Structure 1
Amino acid sequence: MLSKKNYERLGETVYQTTLTNGLKVLMVPKAGFHKTFAIMTTNYGAMDNEFVPRGQKEVVRFPDGIAHFLEHKLFEKQDHDAFDLFGKYGASANAFTGFTQTSYLFATTSHLKENLEILLDFVQDPYFTAATVNKEKGIIGQEIQMYDDDPGWQSYFGMIGQLYPKEPLHIDIAGTVDSIDRITADDLYAAYQTFYHPSNMSLIVVGQLDPDQTLAWITANQEGKTFAPNEPITRIPSPQASPADIVAQTTRQLTVSRPKVSIGLRGFDNVPAGFAGLQYSIAVSLMFDLLFNDTSDNYLRLYDANVIDDSFGYDFQVQRGAHFAQLAGDTDQPEQFASELSAILTDAPAQLRAAQPQFDLVKREAVGRIVGAINSVEGIANQYDGPLFDGATIFDELAILEALSFDELLAAAHDFLAQAKQTVYTILP
């Protein structure tokens, strides 16, 4: 049955159902929009490299980078490439792999039915052979080598590697040239059959659409296929590092014109489940806005002192089983960059209380960013949090943000910072 959730103040409606095979379907019609965007996601990413394959009983450790490799290979079939089919019907398509999810997507202004069927069919019809797998190894190997030469990418994963030295989060999403060389067609089928069951997947469609008609197309497509019975997925958690395992500081040299510094903060507190976890994520993100956005006293002071420039940025992420922050930028004063930002974080409780008068302004800015994303079909679809926050959408995120109080921000900031451990990763010319 198709359920409907109205967000009356925004004039938005989310239609949602779960098909008999377990596939979760969300649809958001956008009146007046010419474009439609669809994204199909599996709850499987680069971190999931040790699990019990479907139909087996023993744990298997798969080569690093297999989720990303599988993403690449799904487009190629025995007699065609899915990209060509999308092109035939005027759609642009893409895919990406993250730490915990893999997504396949298209955008189109016409032929929605045909493009939805292409998306569902190519994702749900794997074709791997030893020859095609070996050919892809060369392509992905070049991609890995390209990122090996990317200072920004190296700075990011260098920082993560020091925060998560024992967990697969620190491994590059694409793996290494050596690890992908060990991937076989059988490995890809085992990973696919385990994680690409409809019950572990979602399909989001946003834009010019009729919900009942679109659901009828999706349902008919799925009813024409046979899937194995749904089984629980057994993922093997990696050994958890302790705060003592965090690498405090590393400096390396690469071909860069200016030093790059990345400061990481790993949370050791427990992120709440469901919508409470989304509130926590929003509150901690807003904390960093108060401390470091480009109108804050800290930013202006460090900018005027030439410690930071407009390359400076920050981010807070909550993933399945991990949460961390990054503050990074190019600087001619790497030691002062690290010491100044570390001092601000250490003094954060007092700094936040002093910044309370800016809370409403910073919150309104964050609201504006979400409202801007709501005016984009991609923004709505890509903000679906799936199983991480109990199926919350961008509209739920906006409601939580608008209701957030300063005291709730302080509480979340305390929970995160009181147990967080810091690392500094510096790249010098």
Structure 2
Amino acid sequence: MNKQYYEQLKETLYEEKLANGLQVYLLPKNEMAKTFAIFATDYGSIDQSFIPIQQDAYINVPDGIAHFLEHKLFEKEDRDVFQDFTKRGASANAFTSFTKTAYLFSATESIESNVETLLDFVQEPYFSDQSVEKEKGIIAQEIRMYDDQPDWRAFFGTIGNMYHAHPVQIDIAGTVDTIQAITKNDLYTCYHTFYHPANMILFLAGNFEAEEMMDLIKKNQQEKEFAPFKSIERSLPEEPATVASQKEVLEMPVSVPKCLVGIKENLQSIDQEFMKHDLISDMLLDHFYSKSGAFYQELYEKDLIDDHFSFEVNREKNFAFSILGGNTTKPDQLADQMKDQLLRWKKTTLTTEEFERMKRKKTGEILRSMNSLEATAQQFIHYKTLGFDYFNMLPALNQITIEDVNDYLQHWVNDTNVTVFQVVPTKAATNG
């Protein structure tokens, strides 16, 4: 078991790659009452075309299958695993993103038993034809619920505007139609390919002893057998650098319109600049569009936005985009104003004072997030899957120069990589 001490954070991380390939990371924090665990696989909604384990030809699976599989793993032949956690006072959950699926729990007692339950239920799949058919109805209801949510439709509408062919544009849960094609055999194929320990990470943070916990995890894994593993072959369509559509409008029964602007980046692979660009893009959006930012104030004073205005950056192994916007009574004016602001970046040069203020603010955000077990675990998993160490975030931030940021400003936005998506009241609602 390797041990690494991070002087700046005053944290010690224990790590070991087990014989079956599972990467285990332990962050003891004995001052905490709670322990948080996350067990994640490098498999998400965009992984639709791949070569199954121990096969040699690509297959395509239905949209939404990664999310469907996440749901099904909690259901066993004789019980619902959520009850196992609840009986021990633990709170369990799971999520599927574009690139990963994760299972997690938090608890203040019976940590060892809960860790074993987490490992066992994820590594012991049970799917039947009957239970798969039943789940289709449950997930279809969930999909319809999200289809009725304007914020969700605006978010995926913006992504759909950005991408021509990349599966990131497809709703993580799929559609009511696509999930009907999912079979028990499909689930087992995806499971055995992507849920191999060598494609997974286990991270624990909280109140436990590292050596005892590692021994427990090793023993649990040694008692299980897994097929030989080789790297997973995945296929993605070629994606142009330009957006697929510069503007789309969706009518829904909303009282206040919504307007989002998307910025698409042409990210084909991960390089050493990845973490730096991740930090810079987030710092720049915060600098201009947080409530103290000049562009935010400009929009607010013109009565184009309200307090629901927000922004986010998504940067993964083969795509990157940012989305900003919110509620507005003047969607067209807001769209024009935001596009004008973004294109002004090419003519903008940050001062040293502005740059240092941005870095100080980002440093504070990182340190605050590291006080949260949940945020630390999820960010660690995110960056480790991409090949980076989250605990090196502060050194990476310190290495960024004002020249890096100003250069990024010159090249981030152009006429062909920005899109607008609006949700407006239906004409019937407007006329009524």
Q: Same fold (TM over 0.5)?
A: yes
How many residue pairs get matched? 424
Q: Which residue of 1 aligns with 2:337?
A: 340
Structure 2 gaps, min length 5 = 426-432
Contact 2:267–2:319 at 8 Å: present in 1 too?
A: no
Match of 1:428 among 424, 428, 431: 424
Bigger mean CA deviation after superposition, 95-104 or 223-232 = 223-232
Whole-angstrom distance in 2 between the partners of 1:210 and 1:67: 34
Whole-angstrom distance in 2 between the partners of 1:73 and 1:260: 35
Q: Which residue of 1 aligns with 2:265?
A: 267
Bigger mean CA deviation after superposition, 334-343 or 123-132 = 334-343
Whole-angstrom distance in 1 between the partners of 2:233 and 2:269: 22
Q: Aligned with 2:177: secondary structure? A: helix
Q: Which residue of 1 aligns with 2:168?
A: 169
- Counterpart AA for 2:65: I
Alignment of 1:35-54 (within 5 A): 35-54=34-53
Whole-angstrom distance in 2 between the partners of 1:153 and 1:302: 23
Whole-angstrom distance in 2 between the partners of 1:418 and 1:56: 43
- Is structure 2 residue 367 aligned with structure 1 residue 368? no
Q: CA deviation at 1:419?
A: 8.6
Contact 1:290–1:355 at 8 Å: present in 2 too?
A: no
Contact 2:350–2:406 at 8 Å: present in 1 too?
A: no
- Is structure 2 residue 288 aligned with structure 1 residue 288? no
CA 1:37–1:355 in structure 2 vs 1: closer, same or farther (change >3 Å)?
same
Whole-angstrom distance in 1 between the partners of 2:41 and 2:409: 31
Q: CA deviation at 1:145?
A: 0.1
Q: Which residue of 1 aligns with 2:377?
A: 381
Whole-angstrom distance in 2 between the partners of 1:199 and 1:269: 26
Q: Which residue of 1 aligns with 2:315?
A: 318
Q: Aligned with 1:96: secondary structure? A: strand
CA 1:171–1:270 in structure 2 vs 1: closer, same or farther (change >3 Å)?
closer
Q: CA deviation at 1:144?
A: 0.2
Contact 2:241–2:265 at 8 Å: present in 1 too?
A: no
Contact 1:268–1:420 at 8 Å: present in 2 too?
A: no
Q: Which residue of 1 aligns with 2:124?
A: 125
Q: Percent identity?
A: 39
Q: Which residue of 2 aligns with 1:197?
A: 196
- Counterpart AA for 1:400: A
Q: Deviations over 1:55-82 (max 9, x none)?
A: 2222111000000000000001111111
Q: CA deviation at 1:293?
A: 1.6
Q: Which residue of 2 aligns with 1:404?
A: 400
Whole-angstrom distance in 2 between the partners of 1:396 and 1:367: 12
Alignment of 1:50-61 (within 5 A): 50-61=49-60
Q: Which residue of 2 aligns with 1:247?
A: 245
Q: Which residue of 2 aligns with 1:88?
A: 87
Q: Which residue of 2 aligns with 1:221?
A: 220
- Counterpart AA for 1:325: S
Match of 2:412 among 411, 416, 429: 416
Q: CA deviation at 1:215?
A: 0.4
Q: Which residue of 1 aligns with 2:18?
A: 19
- Counterpart AA for 2:118: L
Query: TM-score under structure 1 normalisation?
Result: 0.95
Whole-angstrom distance in 2 between the partners of 1:405 and 1:419: 27
Alignment of 1:346-365 (within 5 A): 346-351=343-348, 353-354=349-350, 356-365=352-361
Q: CA deviation at 1:271?
A: 5.9
Q: Aligned with 1:316: secondary structure? A: strand
Q: Which residue of 1 aligns with 2:297?
A: 300
- Counterpart AA for 2:367: V
Q: Deviations over 1:401-420 (max 9, x none)?
A: 23322212223333433596
- Counterpart AA for 1:295: S
Structural RMSD (CA): 1.6
Whole-angstrom distance in 1 between the partners of 2:342 and 2:379: 28
Contact 1:94–1:106 at 8 Å: present in 2 too?
A: yes
Query: TM-score under structure 2 normalisation?
Result: 0.95
Whole-angstrom distance in 1 between the partners of 2:140 and 2:270: 39
- Is structure 2 residue 131 aligned with structure 1 residue 135? no
Whole-angstrom distance in 1 between the partners of 2:377 and 2:173: 24
Whole-angstrom distance in 1 between the partners of 2:290 and 2:352: 14
Whole-angstrom distance in 1 between the partners of 2:89 and 2:416: 48
Whole-angstrom distance in 1 between the partners of 2:384 and 2:350: 36
Contact 2:347–2:410 at 8 Å: present in 1 too?
A: no
Whole-angstrom distance in 2 between the partners of 1:371 and 1:125: 37
Bigger mean CA deviation after superposition, 147-156 or 227-236 = 227-236
Contact 2:42–2:101 at 8 Å: present in 1 too?
A: yes
Structure 1 gaps, min length 5 = none
Q: CA deviation at 1:398?
A: 2.3
Contact 1:269–1:420 at 8 Å: present in 2 too?
A: no
Contact 1:271–1:277 at 8 Å: present in 2 too?
A: no
Whole-angstrom distance in 1 between the partners of 2:293 and 2:354: 9
